[in-house]
Amino acid sequence: MAAYDAVIEIPKGSRNKYEVDHETGRVYLDRVLFTGFVYPTDYGFFENTLGLDGDPVDVLVLLDYPLFPGVGVKVRPVGVFNMTDDGGSDAKVIAVPAKDPRWEHIQDVTDVPEHLRKEIEHFFEHYKDLEPGKWVKTEGWGDAAEAEAIVEAGIKKLADEGH
């Protein structure tokens, strides 16, 4: 499985939704989640990709301790949580640090503890519940091959669109 560069926008345990301005590189507070939910994992994006929603491909990075917004990390995709929201298709690739022996045993999303998968699913089913006009439809899990295909498609889409 290949390794890819990811940038963390939101640390695990935060209610703050940060976004990186891709032109300036600055991290901005987009909003504080309207619900009492916190992000169950570090959340960010794959560098040099473009997803179906027009943003870089999203990634949830499984780590023992949260990173800071703007930190880069080399990761290995192990699965994907498929969903659609008010902005369109919005898959969340699940990844682990590429060279960390604590995560070496995680090769596919089925290796991720079941309870953590349930936390991720529950978070994305409900984190927008109190935001007017926003909605989420979850569509289940995909394996490591599907996750890597999403990242590779994002790299190709960015190259094809001349960004």
* Catalytic residue IDs: 90
Instruction: Give the span between the Cα atoms of 72 and 124, in whole angstroms.
Output: 23
Please say whether the dihedral angle defined by the alpha carbons of residues 146, 149, 46 and 35, taken in this order, is positive or negative. negative
Please give the structure tokens belonging to residue 104. Answer: 């070496």
Cβ 80 vs Cβ 147: under 8 Å:
yes
Whether the CB-CB separation of 80 and 117 falls below 8 Å is answered with no
Q: By the 8 A CB rule, do 161 and 108 touch?
A: no
